[in-house]
């Protein structure tokens, strides 16, 4: 077969690399002369050299591998190629003088893509080489397309998560912007919740509530704990000094206001939604349900003396129990319009004194275990006017 007729088989692309492996020099010569007009050809006369050649640049696009070789036969070479992530996807065609069906079956079972018997027929060799190079090229294109698609999906998911997080923070800031003295309260309490959650996520009492991506959702929802304060009048929210009993009742409505707002958001998401939109809305509910738990129950107390529902013990959602401690601690160590800031030691003592009454005992124990981290957060995320 001349070079002109060979070009009809192989498209005029950039040359691809073929590795020929045979311990007989004459066989290497015959195959090299047949393939060189169309391909970049590399040759090896042993299994060890074949493995080294396959792992070095330019990596072969296809390997023609003799089966019967001394020291390391073709079957062992193929087994090692498939065991190495760098070479496992290189297609291998066995070329051998053995023609028993069981020999061919063994080679194909090991992962060979084809089987050519000696003496070789040039037209068959070229046709099969062309076919398997085209198949490899198609697989490579599909792999590249899948990798691009996966990276694009990951990029867009990352963007959506960032947008979600910024939207949550913006909503949370609506409640905080009216009170200039709260400063970095949102940031600090979120980090406190993250610290407690990570410490407790393997605890038998907390692992179910903080498993999988629930821990992340709890932390991301933490900034919404006081979203209901947008419904509290400024005269009460910003009042310097103690609130009257009536004013305090108005202030105590903010958990319910926040939870109602989140409920309304979920209802509106379902209203008229069908198909994909409905499924997307339902997936978002896991996050919103946690946000509602935190907004509604972060002022509940372990002994049942909190508000708005007077929940006690394990009836209080885990997310709200973590938020309760983080919120109280941050309020204690920072100045408010109605009180001066306490020292870290004073605030820590109040938290410990609330173990089993205000706070879940295990959450207080986590606070004690993480006290150094809490102290660090209190300093690094201090309000600008206090730093």
Q: What is the DSSP string of 350-383?
A: HHHHTBTTTB-HHHHHHHHHTHHHHHHHHHHT--
Shared-domain flag, residues 222 and 289: yes
Shared-domain flag, residues 42 and 128: yes
Residue 264 has pLDDT above 60, yes or no: yes
- State what percent of residues in the chain have pLDDT above 90: 54
Closest CA to 63 of 32, 30, 94: 94
What range does the domain containing 134 cover? Answer: 3-146
**pLDDT tens across 23-41, in order?**
999 999 999 999 999 999 9
Confidence band (pLDDT; 50, 70, 90) for 287? confident
Which range is least confidently modeled, 3-12, 80-89, 326-335, 353-362? Answer: 3-12
Residue 159 located in a structural domain: no
Residue 236 phi/psi, 5-degree rounding, is: -90, -45
Residue 158 located in a structural domain: no
Rounded average pLDDT over 284-295 = 89
Residue 164 located in a structural domain: no
Select from 94, 127, 146 the last residue of a domain: 146
Shared-domain flag, residues 118 and 226: no
Shared-domain flag, residues 289 and 332: yes
Residue 18 phi/psi, 5-degree rounding, is: -120, 130
Distance CA 292, CA 255 (A): 9
pLDDT at 4: 43
Residue 98 located in a structural domain: yes
Which range is least confidently modeled, 9-13, 85-89, 176-180, 303-307? Answer: 9-13
Select from 146, 164, 197 the last residue of a domain: 146
Most confident of 24-33, 204-213, 356-365: 356-365
pTM above the 0.85 mark?
Answer: no
Q: What is the CATH number of the domain that holds 327?
A: 1.10.3210.10
Rounded average pLDDT over 194-205 = 97
Distance CA 359, CA 46 (A): 73
Shared-domain flag, residues 358 and 216: yes
Residue 165 located in a structural domain: no
Residue 385 has pLDDT above 50, yes or no: yes
Shared-domain flag, residues 17 and 94: yes
Shared-domain flag, residues 88 and 43: yes
Which range is least confidently modeled, 50-54, 172-176, 341-345? Answer: 172-176
Closest CA to 183 of 383, 329, 39: 383
**pLDDT tens across 136-195, in order?**
889 888 888 888 888 887 777 676 666 666 666 666 666 666 655 555 888 899 999 999
Shared-domain flag, residues 136 and 214: no
Select from 146, 168, 197 the last residue of a domain: 146
Q: What is the mean pLDDT of the chain?
A: 86
Shared-domain flag, residues 43 and 190: no
Shared-domain flag, residues 111 and 214: no
Query: What pairs with residue 65 in β-bridges?
Result: 21, 94
pLDDT at 336: 77
Residue 384 has pLDDT above 70, yes or no: no
Shared-domain flag, residues 9 and 132: yes
Residue 9 has pLDDT above 50, yes or no: no
Confidence band (pLDDT; 50, 70, 90) for 5? very low
Distance CA 87, CA 57 (A): 12
**pLDDT tens across 231-262, in order?**
889 888 888 888 999 999 999 999 999 999 88
Shared-domain flag, residues 202 and 113: no
Residue 225 located in a structural domain: yes
Residue 171 located in a structural domain: no
Residue 151 located in a structural domain: no
Closest CA to 115 of 136, 88, 86, 91: 91
The total domain count for the chain is 2
Distance CA 3, CA 126 (A): 11
Q: What is the CATH number of the domain that holds 108?
A: 3.40.50.2300
**pLDDT tens across 89-127, in order?**
999 999 887 665 667 778 788 888 998 888 889 999 999
Residue 338 has pLDDT above 80, yes or no: no
């Amino acid at each position: 077969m001349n070079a002109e007729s060979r070009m009809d088989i192989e498209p005029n692309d950039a040359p691809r690399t073929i590795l020929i492996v045979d311990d007989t020099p004459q066989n290497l010569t015959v195959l090299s002369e047949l393939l060189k007009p169309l391909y970049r050809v590399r040759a090896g006369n042993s299994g060890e050299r074949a493995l080294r050649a396959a792992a070095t640049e330019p990596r072969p696009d296809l390997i023609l591998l003799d089966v019967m070789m001394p020291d390391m036969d073709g079957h062992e070479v193929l087994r090692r190629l498939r065991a190495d992530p760098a070479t496992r996807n290189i297609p291998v065609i066995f070329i051998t003088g053995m023609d028993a069906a069981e020999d061919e079956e063994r080679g194909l079972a090991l992962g060979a893509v084809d089987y050519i018997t000696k003496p070789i027929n040039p037209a068959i060799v070229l046709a099969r080489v062309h076919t398997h190079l085209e198949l490899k090229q198609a697989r490579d294109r599909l792999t590249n397309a899948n990798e691009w698609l996966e990276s694009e999906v990951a990029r867009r998911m990352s963007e959506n998560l960032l947008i979600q997080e910024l939207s949550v923070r913006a909503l949370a800031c609506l409640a905080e912007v009216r009170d200039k003295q709260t400063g970095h309260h949102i940031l600090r309490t979120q980090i406190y919740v993250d610290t407690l959650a990570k410490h407790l996520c393997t605890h038998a009492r907390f692992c179910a509530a903080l498993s999988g991506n629930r821990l992340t959702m709890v932390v991301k929802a933490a900034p919404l704990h006081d979203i209901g304060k947008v419904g509290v009048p400024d005269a009460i929210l910003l009042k310097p000094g103690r609130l009257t009993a009536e004013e305090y009742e108005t202030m105590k409505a903010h958990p319910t206001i926040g939870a109602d707002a989140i409920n309304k958001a979920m209802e509106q998401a379902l209203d008229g939604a069908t198909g994909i939109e409905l499924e997307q809305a339902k997936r978002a509910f896991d996050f919103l349900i946690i946000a509602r738990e935190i907004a509604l129950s972060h002022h509940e107390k372990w002994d049942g003396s909190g508000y708005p529902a007077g929940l006690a013990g394990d009836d209080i959602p885990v997310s709200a129990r973590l938020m309760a401690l983080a919120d109280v601690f941050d309020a204690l160590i920072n100045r408010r319009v109605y009180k001066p800031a306490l020292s870290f030691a004073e605030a820590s003592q109040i938290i410990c004194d609330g173990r089993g009454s205000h706070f879940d005992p295990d959450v207080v124990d986590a606070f004690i275990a993480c006290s150094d981290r809490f102290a660090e957060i209190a300093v690094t995320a201090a309000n600008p006017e206090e730093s």
